[in-house]
Structure 1
C-alpha cells in the first residue's frame, strides 16, 4: 500500500510538468481580432456549441475556430475536410498550442511536412499569415475562445 501511495503522489506532483501551457506569450488580443477579421473570416468562423457566431461570417470553408487552442490537431468533429497530414498529426497527439499554431499559419504545407518528416505531405489551407507577429496575435485572440485550463488538463490525461 505504501508503494501505491508514493506512486500516486508522484503522479499528482509530476502532472503539471507534463501539462502544456497554452497561454499566449507574445500576442495581442485586440490586434489578433483585427487580423482575424481581415485575414481569416473568408474561410473560418468562431461559433460556440449553441451555434452562435461570435466572430467571422457564416463561412464554412475551414473548421470552426471555437475551442481550437488545446484541441488535438485535425479533430473538429463538425469539419470533415482535414488533410491527411493534419489528421496524422492529431493521431500522433499533437495539439494546437502556440508553437504549432504560429508555425502552421505561416506555412501550412511546409509546417506539416516538417512535423511529419514527410516531404510529400500537404495541407489544404492555401493562405499564409505573412508576419510572425500577426500569427502570435491571432493565437492570442483565438485563445479567448478556448478553455485553456481544461485543455491543458486533457493534454495531461492523453
Structure 2
C-alpha cells in the first residue's frame, strides 16, 4: 500500500472540516440562541438589544427605535454570514466600541448553527411576519 505524504493530509483535513461545518444546524442554533442570545435579543421586538427578524442583509445599526453605539451606527457593516461569523467570534475585538454585552462564540460550529437559525427564522413567516 502506498502511503500519502503527510502534507497532503494536513491540507485536506481543514478543507474537509470546513465543508462539514458549513451551513450549520438551525435546530441546534435555536437552542443556542435561546440559551445565549434571548436574554437580550428577540426575533420580533427591540428589547435590551435590537430585534433579529430581517437581520440578514440589513445595515448594522439601522433598526428604528434602538439606541445603538456610535461604533455600530458608523461601522458600515451589512449583516450576512461572513460579517455575523466575524462579529460573533469576538464582538469587542471585531467592533471596538460596541455595547453588545456578549463575549462571543469561540466554537465555529456554534456560530454556524446560530447563523443558520437566524437565516431560517428570518424567512419563516410564522416567526417573522413581513
Q: Same fold (TM over 0.5)?
A: yes
Alpha-carbon distance in structure 2 between the residues aligned to 1:44 and 1:36: 9
Q: Say yes or no: does 1:87 pair with 2:73.
A: yes
Q: Say yes or no: does 1:108 pair with 2:91.
A: yes
Question: What is the SS of the residue equivalent to 1:146?
Answer: helix
TM-superposed CA distance for 1:41, in Å, is 0.9
Partner of 1:43: 40
TM-superposed CA distance for 1:26, in Å, is 2.4
TM-score w.r.t. length of structure 1: 0.59
Partner of 2:25: 28
TM-superposed CA distance for 1:130, in Å, is 2.6
- Runs (4+) of structure 1 exceeding 3 A deviation are none
RMSD over aligned Cα atoms: 1.7
TM-superposed CA distance for 1:78, in Å, is 2.9
Among candidates 95, 113, 122, match of residue 97 of structure 2: 122
TM-superposed CA distance for 1:76, in Å, is 0.7
Among candidates 70, 75, 86, match of residue 57 of structure 2: 70
TM-score w.r.t. length of structure 2: 0.70
TM-superposed CA distance for 1:100, in Å, is 0.6
TM-superposed CA distance for 1:103, in Å, is 1.1
Q: Say yes or no: does 1:131 pair with 2:128.
A: no
Q: Which runs of 5+ in 1 are unaligned?
A: 1-24, 52-58, 113-120, 148-158
Q: Deviations over 1:110-136 (max 9, x none)?
A: 111xxxxxxxx4111121223221111
Alpha-carbon distance in structure 1 between the residues aligned to 2:58 and 2:51: 12
The alignment of Structure 1 onto Structure 2 pairs a total of residues equal to 101
Bigger share in strand: 1
